[in-house]
Amino acid sequence: MRAGFVLLALVWAVSAAVGLADGVQPRSQSAELEQRLGQLEARADAKYAKGALAQARRALLRASSLPEDASAASRAAKIADAALVLADRQLARREAQAELIATQRRLNAVRERASAQRRALEALMRDRASLSRGGGSP
């Protein structure tokens, strides 16, 4: 009888601990997702990932509104996570594109300058050859 009581107490303690952990983990994950969402929304270029950010926001709302359905809340959190990664990659892609355009502009400018300089050099070389032929050289 006594042994049975001890076993019952142990089972209760373990299940209580697991239940506590289950409750803490979604809360901390949710906070982490909220923080990531806030950081992305605060960026000056956030408008270029508007769709993905909106979806993340909706998924987070859904996750917090389903406390009784842990499985559905977990799926909603995963959707929020994926949407946040998508938003982040979209913004990174946007930055890469802007850098590419800037590099292309710089390249065009330096290519133009180099071509102009080459023409100037060729003209100078022609002048020098003409002076050389004309007896400018001693």
Partner 1 sequence: MILRPALLLFLVAIAACAGSQTARTSDVLFATPEAALAREQAPDLYAQAEWASAQASDAHRRKDERAAEDHRTESRLWLAASIAEAERVQLDRRRAELQREEEHWGKQLARDQEASAAVAQDISRYEANAVALREAERLSALTGASTVSDATLDAVLTRVRMNLALAEALGATDEQLLPLRERADFIARQRPNAARIAEALLLESETLIGQTRADWPEPRPGASTALVQTASVTGFSADRLGSAVLIRSGRFFTSKGQVSSATLKRFIGLLEAFPHGPVACQVAVPELSSRVWARRVAQLVERFGRSEDPKRVSTSMVVAESLAPGTVQCTFAAYRNP
Q: Could you list the residues that contact partner 1 (CB under 8 A)?
A: 51-52, 54-55, 71-72, 75-76, 78-79, 82-83, 85-86, 88-90, 92-93, 96-97, 99-100, 103-104, 106-107, 110-111, 113-114, 117-118, 120-121, 124-125, 127-128, 131-132, 135-138
Cα–Cα distance between 26 and 67 in angstroms, integer?
A: 10
Cβ nearer to partner 1, comparing 22 with 112:
112
The per-type count for the chain, helices as H runs and strands as E runs, is 3, 0
DSSP 48: G
Residues 8, 13, 19: CA angle, nearest 5 degrees? 125
In whole angstroms, how close is the CB of 132 to partner 1 at the nearest point? 7
In whole angstroms, how close is the CB of 53 to partner 1 at the nearest point? 10
In whole angstroms, how close is the CB of 40 to partner 1 at the nearest point? 13
Q: Are 94 and 48 in contact (CB under 8 A)?
A: yes
